[in-house]
Amino acid sequence: MIPRTSEVNHIHIRSVLFSSIVNVGDTDEHTAFSRAIAIQKYEPEFNPTLNNLLDFPRYQIFTMVRPPAIPPKEVVMESYHDPAFIKVNSIDIFGISTAAMLHIGGIQNIDLESRVKHVRDYRTNPDPKNLSIVPFATVSRKHREPKGREE
């Protein structure tokens, strides 16, 4: 098979982060993996004791086995290109994040994986009328009283 040529005149990207890449050219194989624990905290400072507590394997989402992909059906494929060009004038992307990819050119095998765990940590119960939605953690750990708190 004669490879097709991709032609892009102009690329403008503001940010590429967390295992993401921008590739111009052909690729045989590419694998990217990203995992993240995103903590939405009330207090702006990071508590160093969290370093020991926040272990990836402690959360099920990082240990659960990825379901096996359905193996591709072997099909005899013939493709003819006339003319062998994919033309794009401009690409404008604000952000590429978390094992994502922008690829200009042909690619044979690509495997991207990302796992994200969100935790919202409030200083006090944000919804006291509906306690049932807030399962208070049974882990008994010394509750740190926030500084400068009234009452």
Task: Give the residue from 115, 103, 149, 132 showing the smallest Cα distance to 6.
Answer: 103
Residue 54 token pair: 């926040």
Per-residue contact flags (x/-) with another protein for residues 9 to 48, judged by CB under 8 A: -----------x-----x-----x-x----x-------x-
Q: What are phi and psi of 59, to 5 degrees?
A: -105, 135
Q: Which is nearer to another protein, 85 or 148 (CB)?
A: 85
* Residue among 48, 94, 129, 147 that touches another protein (CB under 8 A): 94
Are 61 and 117 in contact, with CB atoms under 8 Å apart?
yes
Q: What dihedral do alpha carbons 57, 58, 62, 64 form, nearest 10°?
A: 100
Per-residue contact flags (x/-) with another protein for residues 106 to 135, judged by CB under 8 A: xxxxxxxxxxxxxxxxxxxx-------xxx
Q: How many residues sit in the footprint of another protein (CB under 8 A)?
A: 82
* Residue among 48, 51, 143, 151 that touches another protein (CB under 8 A): 143
Q: Which is nearer to another protein, 136 or 147 (CB)?
A: 136
Q: How far is the CB of 148 from another protein (least distance, A)?
A: 17
Q: How far is the CB of 50 from another protein (least distance, A)?
A: 6
Q: How far is the CB of 147 from another protein (least distance, A)?
A: 13
Side-chain-side CA neighbours of residue 51 (13 Å)? 4
Max Cα distance, the chain (Å): 76
